[in-house]
Amino acid sequence: MVYDIEFARRTPSPALNPVPEPEKTVLFIDFDNTISCGDVLDSVIERFSRSEQWRHWQAEWCAGRISTLECLQRQVGDLEVDEATLLDFVRAAPIDPDFVRLQDWAARTGARLNIVSDNFAPIVRAILARHGVELPPIYANELRFEGRRLVPSFPYRSAACRRCAHCKAVHFARCEGLRTLYVGDGLSDTCPAQRADRVFAKDSLAEFLRDAGRPFIPFSSLGDVVRRLEQDAAAAAPRPD
């Protein structure tokens, strides 16, 4: 099993306390199907693959027989599209309109917001720019174009993790002494979700955490996340005498 639920069950969970000091907070947020509506990378693979082999690799990955790295290397290696066409295609992807409210919350409170994605940085940047969103720090896989072929690279692999192509937990090493929040939806979010002080989860990430007996706050859209963060801030604010 690539995603080790037994390990998650054995690892102690943090308590679900309110977040008292947002300015000492780092919020990590996934991109596909968390900020974007739907999985953009899946739609790229479906649209531009030269063959149907991607379905086989996807099934192997889902069954835990190959790592995310191997799956992505094979699927991206099988794509045939030039840079302009690819970026044009992804710019049509909608995003959750409340992502801007989440950015406003971070700006207002001094919390640092970082995007961590198993997608590719040029794709994430193109979509956010198309929506006029101010770009936060983006940690993602990288992509080089050679004509109509794509060459992926994975700068955030972890030697300690056999599961992920981009092990999003590596970014927690920079967060000592800070409160960490995580927002995500998928199996590529399981490593960071086990490191964060507080997790907002939906879909397969929520299922994983539920099965592992780990605490999380369910959400269906980023509006839910913003509302909960604002409630926490109001609850933590000093009361007037």
Any residues with CB less than 8 A from the CB of 190 and at least 6 apart, and which? 3, 8, 163, 205, 208, 209
Point out which span in 25-33, 62-70, 160-168, 210-218 binds Mg ion (CB under 5 A): 25-33
Other beta carbons less than 10 A from residue 227's beta carbon = 14
Which CB sits closer to Mg ion, 83 or 96?
96
> Measured from the CB of residue 174, what is the shortest distance to Mg ion in angstroms?
22
How far is the CA of 166 from the CAs of 50, 70, 130, in angstroms?
25, 12, 25
Phi and psi at 78, nearest 5°, equal: -95, 0
Shortest distance, position 154 Cβ to Mg ion, whole Å: 17
Instruction: Determine if 192 is a binding residue for Mg ion (CB under 5 A).
Output: no
Q: Does 115 bind Mg ion (CB under 5 A)?
A: no
Distance of closest approach, residue 185 Cβ to Mg ion, in angstroms: 4
Q: Tell me the two tokens of residue 50.
A: 């030269």
Helix%, strand%, coil% for the chain, nearest 5: 45, 20, 40
Examine residue 75 and tell whether it contacts Mg ion (CB under 5 A): no
Select the residue interacting with Mg ion from 185, 199, 200, 204 (CB under 5 A): 185
Q: Is 98 in the site for Mg ion (CB under 5 A)?
A: no
Among 22, 27, 29, 33, binds Mg ion (CB under 5 A): 33
78 contributes a contact to Mg ion by CB under 5 A: no
Pairing of the two strands 217-218 and 179-184: unpaired
Looking at 25, 186, 214, 222, which residue binds Mg ion (CB under 5 A)?
A: 186
Give whichever of 32 and 78 is closer to Mg ion, judged by the CB atom.
Answer: 32
Q: Determine the interface stretch with Mg ion among 29-37, 90-98, 126-134, 145-153 (rule: CB under 5 A).
A: 29-37
Residues that bind Mg ion (rule: CB under 5 A) add up to a total of 5
Is 201 or 229 the residue whose CB approaches Mg ion more closely? Answer: 201
Contacts of 197 (CB under 8 A, 6+ apart): 14, 17, 19, 179, 180, 181
Q: Which two tokens stand for residue 222?
A: 């980023």
Nearer to Mg ion, 33 or 103 (CB): 33
Interface segment toward Mg ion; rule CB under 5 A; list 14-22, 32-40, 85-93, 211-219? 32-40
Is the alpha carbon torsion for 168, 170, 174, 178 positive or negative? Answer: positive
d(CA 205, CA 185): 5
Nearer to Mg ion, 22 or 68 (CB): 68
Radius of gyration of the chain (CA): 18
The nearest distance, CB 32 to Mg ion, in angstroms, is 4
Site residues (CB under 5 A) for Mg ion? 30, 32-33, 185-186
